[in-house]
Each structure stands twice: as structure tokens, then as C-alpha cells.
Structure 1
Amino acid sequence: MNRPFFKRLIFILSVIILVAFCVQLNDVAKPQLVNTQGRAFERATVTEIVRDNLQENGSRIGDQIVRLRLEDGSMAEANCPNGLLFGTVCEPGMQVIVMASRAGELTSCTVYSYDRSKAVFGFILFFCLLLAVVGGRKGVKSVLALALTFACFLFFFFPLMMHGVAPIVAAVVTACLVLSLTVWLICGTTRKALAAGLASLGGVVAAGVSAELFGQAAHLSGYNVTNIESLLFVAQNTNIDVGGLLFAGILFASLGAVLDIAMDVSAAVTELHAANSQNDRKTLFMSGMHVGQDVMGTMAATLILAVFGGSLGAWVIDYVYDLPLLQLLNSNGLDIVLMQGLSGGIGVILTVPFAASASSWLLLRKGA
């Protein structure tokens, strides 16, 4: 049996085993946390404003009453709430999403929101096309890697937690799977890919350990988050350990940045080795460190700025209310944001020596 055929056979068998495992893993019974019997979300078109809520001063008070044409062609009247989170300002011809509640022959309709489906799918398609056009063949592989990453979260990570696996353990296993698929799709089965994968895994684990140590030192846990009441209700009705979700989220948040810098360092060391195969391991390691040092600062800043941007609303409130520094430094919200940013940054920083070491060692192994 020749070697390429043997590799393909191993790959096909691995895929079959993984798919079979995921099918079995997704055989979970989700508890019905809310009663959705008789309730459905449907697309509809506004045909008439029966009663508007526009006041003489330009403000809107109360609900609009609108007439809608549902997807099946039937007509219905619906309330349109005057809210910032639900409802919208309806106009004739507007496409909306309607929450229809049916009880026997009675149907009650409420406008849930403007129909954003076309905008969402349009921008996703534009993003994928742009990535494919600019990135070429590797761009197409990147699109596939993103799709598989989302599938790993949906069909692997969530079911693992539903079966009672600790979130941090499920996150590490899922991260390994995501890293393996992404690196394999982008770089194939090369030493560069293996080095980047190993370094990424080390950086992600370092971020998770740093977050755990930070949480213990600052007495922070997954029970200090803002939506803990809803999560506790989920925990009471499922096998999910909501206390570990915070640290699992930090691990996933650092995954992209860690993989990026690991690939940069591994690719640079690989190119240097290809240009001059006489370089020894120390030279390759130091070259990888120099490349990583140039990228490390901007990558850590990128990660921290992403965390900052995600909680910008909370920062603005704290700034406007002019809260004292002692209160800010000891607030759960701010400390969790700091933990997320600093832990991810530590993972990015440690990825540099991991990637330089793995690359220089793998490239100079016998048979390389």
C-alpha cells in the first residue's frame, strides 16, 4: 500500500469516525425552558398603517396598529411596539418579522423587528466573496475553515456541555479540533502547519490558565457576569456548568489572535530555512523570536482593543458617572474585561516562543 493512498484512507476513516461521533453527541434532549406552543416567527409585508403613534411634536408614544400580508397570503392586524430592542417604525411596503401566537382559531400578531435577513446574508456573502477573490485558493479554504469552525461550536462544543462536560474542557477539545481543521485547510500536512498548530494550542492553553489564575487571585468566577440570573436558570434545567463559561469564552476569544501570530512566526522560520538550509536551530529560533516580537505588540493591542470595543457602552457609563478609581478597580464588570484582555494578551505573547521553538525543532529534525 503506497503512502499517499494510506494517508487518504486514514483521513477518510477519521472523518467518518468524527461525523459518527458528532451525530451520536447531538442526540440530546433540550428542556423546554419557555412555552413556545402555538408561537411562530414569520415574514410579513406591511400593507397599511391602521393607527399611527406619531405625535405632533415628532415623538412616538404607544404602539402602531398595522395591517400585514403574511407569507401564506393571509391578512392580519398586528401591534408594533415602540421600543428600542423590539418593534420598529412601520411603513407601507416594509418587510418585517412577525411573532404570531395562535390559540385555537384566534391569532395574535406582534411586529418583532424589521426583516434584516437580506442584509445579514448579503454581508456574509460579500465577506466570503471578498475573502475568496483577494485570498485566491487560500481565501476559499479560509471560508471553508470559518464554516467548519462555526459547525464545531454548534455541533460539538454545545452538545459536549449538554452532556455535562466542563466548559473549559469542552473548550480545549473544541479548540484542538478547530486548530487542526483550520491549519490543515490553510497549510496542509506540513511541518509549518504542525508547528503553528502546536504553538497555537500552547498559547490558547496559556490564556486559559492565566484567566483561571487571575480569577482565583481576584476572586472572580463565571457567576459574576451580568446575565447570571438567566444562566442559573439554564443550569438548573441542564447539565451545563455555567460557572466555567467565562473562562471557556476567554479561551475562544484568544484563539484567532494566537493562531494568527503562530502562523506568522512559523511561516517566517520556514521561509528562512528554505532560503538557507545551513541555518542551525538557534539561528532559526532567534529569527522566529525577532519576527514574533515585531508582531506581538500589535497583536496584543488588537486583542485588548477588541475586548474594549465589545464593552464600550459600560466604559462610557463609568466615565460619564465619574466613578471613583477604587470603585472601578473592584467592580466585577471592569475586572472581567481586564481579565479577558490581559489573559488573551498573555496567550499571544507566549505563543511567540512556542512557535519559534516548534518551528526550529521540527524543521531540523532528521528527514526534514
Structure 2
Amino acid sequence: MRKLLILFFCLISWFASVGQAQASSGSGTQTLEGTITDLDPLTVKVGQNLLSLNNEGGVPVKLGDLVQVYQTLDPEGKTVYYLADFVRWPYLLALTLIFVLVAGVVGKGKGIRAVIGMFLSVGVILLMVIPLILAGWNPAVVALLGSTGILLFSVYFVHGLNWTTTAALIATILTAAVTVGLAAVSMHFTHLTGLMDEETMFLKQMGITDLRGLLLGGMIIGALGALVDSTIPQVAVVRELAHQHHGHNHPKPTWQDLFRASMRVGMDHIGSLVNTLVLAYAGSSLSLFVLFQAGNTTLKGAMNMEVVASAIVQSMVGSIGLILAVPLATFIACMAYHYDRLPAPKEGEGHHHHHH
């Protein structure tokens, strides 16, 4: 396990360094990192050198701040240094470590496996999905392949190779197919181009033309994660209920009874999940909402804007997928149980959600 992690981090850091090498091979310009040692005149210490800085962007720095410095040549060919931005990665790394620790301490083996699964998912996106999109593949197809691969690997890796997980995966993939179709149709009718912000404008200038595919790809990756969130617990509910009274002189419940009982639990789950999804989209676009309110944009006017329209399409399509996933997962699990393919949870495995 530890070897896997080390290998993975090496891969990611190697990939990052390759990316940086390509980025910095331009003409006389490069990005350095250093510490602010003096504010007037603004001075930064990079390695052993003290450099005086231009702060045209007005970045609010204090003494001791870690900053990025942009080194370039002025029209006379002299080297000048601009204050580009703060260095953020050490703090992000620390935050990630806290996350790994919490997952390991609270979730034990399963928590650690979930963390590794998450890093591998990010790895697949960085090492497979993005390079293929840059190479000109259809972004939606790449996203679908990549996220299905991530799902197969990480779900089995975290939850084990068994019928419970398989039933959840079948439900996830079927619902994902419906969701993708619905997203594509919605994008067609709402005329979404994928040109929404500066990032997508840059991409267009760089020759990435299939921005609609990129938007759809983003929707696919987002929806699949949420779908697994609803299918795996739902199949676990069916399994728990199926084996609850078994052996206590109770007859085996029919799959119809099991379906009804499981759906009662599933309905509660649907309510909270849809809310989570919509709040996540609303949260990420909060500054946008404030802007519309401040600019007195009407609701109709706002909904006609591509940024808002695509956020609405994403949350609605995602929510429809989530809602459909629950009865589908329940049905598949009930069928598996009906044909004796859903074994009783092993001691210590079943009631995860009650003990810890």
C-alpha cells in the first residue's frame, strides 16, 4: 500500500515537473519563488539573491510572505522582476495532509483506501483525460472513458470486489448513460457553446475548439461522482434490510417487499443528496449571484446568460440522474437478492454506519 502511494506521488511530481519545464522554456521569462525581505523598496530574496520588485498589480504583501516572482526582459533588454502572486502550494499540501490524517484516523483501512482512490482519480484526470483532450480527442468521450475507469477501479478498491459493489456500479453506469444523453439534449436546446469565462476564451485562442464537449465532459465527471454517492449506500441498505430478520424464524422477504422498504430509506437519501448537489453549484457561483443582484439583472435576463444556464443544466441534469439512480440501484440489488446473489454482510462489515 505504502509503495503504491509513493509511486503515485512520484508520478504526479514528475508529471508536474514536465509540465513546468514546458511552460518555462519561453524567451527570457521565468517564474521564481522567494520571500519578501523589505517593503520599501519592495525586495524579495530568491535563493541567495536579493531582487528589487515591481508590484504593478498591487498585490497586498507583508514581510516574510512567500511570493511568485516573474522574471522578464524590458524593452532595453534589462532583466526586471514583477511580483506575480502569492505562493500557495505549501499550505495546500499541508491541508491535504490533514485530510489524509483525518481519513486514516476516522476511516481506518477504508478511509486510507478512499484517499488513495481519490488521488488515483485525480491522477487519471491529470495523466489521461487532460492530455487526450489536448491531443484533440472528443472531451465528452474521454471524460466518459476516464471516469468509468476511475469508477471501476476506485469503487472496487475502496468497497471490495463483491455483488453489492457490482450492483451499485451497474446502476451507476446505466444512470450515467441517461444523464449524459439528457445533458447533451439540454445543451442542444439551450444553445450552450461552452464559452463562459476567461479560461474558456484562452482555450479557444490556444486552439481547443470543442468547448461544448469540454462542458459536457465536466458534467459527466461531476455527475458520476455524485451517482456513486447514492448507489453504494442504497445497495447497502437493501442488503442490510434483506438479511435483518433472516434466520430468526422469519420467511425470506419477497423482492417486492424489500424494494418498498428500501425505497422508504432511499427517499430520505434523495432529498439530502439533491440538496447537496444544488448547494454545491450555488456555492461555487455565489459571487455571480451577488453580481446579478447588484447589477439589477432580472431573473429572466440572468437565466439567459450562458454561465447561469450551464449551471442550471448541470444541477438539474445531475439531480435527475441522482433521483433515478436510487430506484434503479434498489431494483438491481433486489433482483440480486432474489437470485441469491446478495450475501449477508460479514460480521463487522455490515453496520459501518452505526459503530464508528
Aligned to 1:101: 72
Consecutive unaligned residues of structure 2, counting only runs of 5 or more, are 1-17, 247-251, 343-356
Q: Which amino acid aligns with 1:258?
A: L
Aligned to 1:357: 331
Q: Equivalences for 1:171-250 in 2 at 5 Å?
A: 171-223=143-195, 227-234=199-206, 236=207, 241-250=210-219
Identical columns (%)? 25
* Contact 1:179–1:200 (Cα < 8 Å) also in 2: no
2:88 corresponds to 1:80: no
Judged with a 3 Å threshold, the aligned counterparts in structure 2 of structure 1 residues 95 and 227 are, in CA distance, closer, same or farther, namely closer
* Count of matched residue positions in the alignment of Structure 1 and Structure 2: 318
* Contact 1:48–1:68 (Cα < 8 Å) also in 2: yes
Judged with a 3 Å threshold, the aligned counterparts in structure 2 of structure 1 residues 223 and 118 are, in CA distance, closer, same or farther, namely closer
SS of 1:261's equivalent? helix
Taking the aligned partners of 2:172 and 2:300, their CA distance within structure 1 comes to 36
1:118 CA displacement:
2.3
* Contact 1:273–1:284 (Cα < 8 Å) also in 2: yes
Aligned to 1:92: 63
Taking the aligned partners of 1:250 and 1:76, their CA distance within structure 2 comes to 45
* Contact 1:265–1:355 (Cα < 8 Å) also in 2: yes
Q: Which amino acid aligns with 1:261?
A: S
TM-score (norm 2): 0.81
1:274 CA displacement:
2.9
RMSD, aligned α-carbons: 2.7
* Contact 2:179–2:321 (Cα < 8 Å) also in 1: yes
Aligned to 2:253: 279
Q: 2:32 aligns with which of 42, 51, 55?
A: 42
Aligned to 2:297: 323
SS of 2:53's equivalent? strand
Taking the aligned partners of 1:154 and 1:336, their CA distance within structure 2 comes to 24
Taking the aligned partners of 2:192 and 2:229, their CA distance within structure 1 comes to 29
Aligned to 2:346: none
Judged with a 3 Å threshold, the aligned counterparts in structure 2 of structure 1 residues 123 and 191 are, in CA distance, closer, same or farther, namely same
Judged with a 3 Å threshold, the aligned counterparts in structure 2 of structure 1 residues 160 and 279 are, in CA distance, closer, same or farther, namely farther
Aligned to 1:14: none
1:44 CA displacement:
1.0
Taking the aligned partners of 1:366 and 1:93, their CA distance within structure 2 comes to 65
* Contact 1:47–1:92 (Cα < 8 Å) also in 2: yes
Taking the aligned partners of 1:317 and 1:105, their CA distance within structure 2 comes to 43
1:123 CA displacement:
0.7
SS of 1:100's equivalent? strand
Taking the aligned partners of 2:115 and 2:299, their CA distance within structure 1 comes to 44
Deviation string, structure 1 residues 336-365 (Cα, Å, up to 9, x no partner) = 121111011011111112211221222333
* Contact 1:175–1:201 (Cα < 8 Å) also in 2: no
Q: Which amino acid aligns with 1:173?
A: L
* Contact 1:226–1:333 (Cα < 8 Å) also in 2: no
Consecutive unaligned residues of structure 1, counting only runs of 5 or more, are 1-27, 52-65
Deviation string, structure 1 residues 44-101 (Cα, Å, up to 9, x no partner) = 12222233xxxxxxxxxxxxxx222212x12211112344xxxx33333332221223
